[in-house]
Amino acid sequence: MNEGILKLAQEITMKKSPEEALSLIVRSYLEQRIAEYEGKINGFERKYRMCFDEFGLKLNDDESERALEEEFGDKLHMDYMEWEAYSDGLKILKSKLSSLQ
C-alpha cells in the first residue's frame, strides 16, 4: 500500500499503527454508509407507511398492488427494487462493520 496514504491515515486519526488508523477510517466510512442506507430505508417506510416485507407481500397480491398504484402511482416496482437494494446493502455493511469489531 502507498506509504503516503498510510502516513496520512495515521496523522488524521492520531493512531500509531497503520492498521489501527485504517481500521478507524474504514469503521467511520461504514458507519456513514449505514446511516445513509438507514435514511433511505426510513424514507420508503414513511412514504408507504409499512416495512419492506409488508410492501413486498402487497405487491404480490393483485388487489393490494392496484390499491397501492392508485395511492402512490406507477413507481412501485422501481421503489421496491431500490428499497430491496438498500435493505440488502445495509445487511452487508452491518456484517462488514461487525467483522471489524
What would the pLDDT profile of 29-73 be if each residue is shown by its tens digit?
A: 999 999 999 999 999 999 999 999 999 999 999 999 999 999 999
Instruction: Count the residues in the chain.
Output: 101
Whether 100 and 30 have beta carbons less than 8 Å apart is answered as yes
Distance from C-alpha of 64 to C-alpha of 56, rounded to nearest angstrom:
10
Question: Are residues 86 and 37 in contact, defined by beta-carbon separation less than 8 angstroms?
Answer: yes
Show the CA angle centred on residue 54, arms to residues 38 and 61, nearest 5°.
140
Question: How many CB atoms neighbour CB 22 within 10 A?
Answer: 17
- Indicate whether 1 pLDDT > 80: no
- pTM for the full model? 0.88
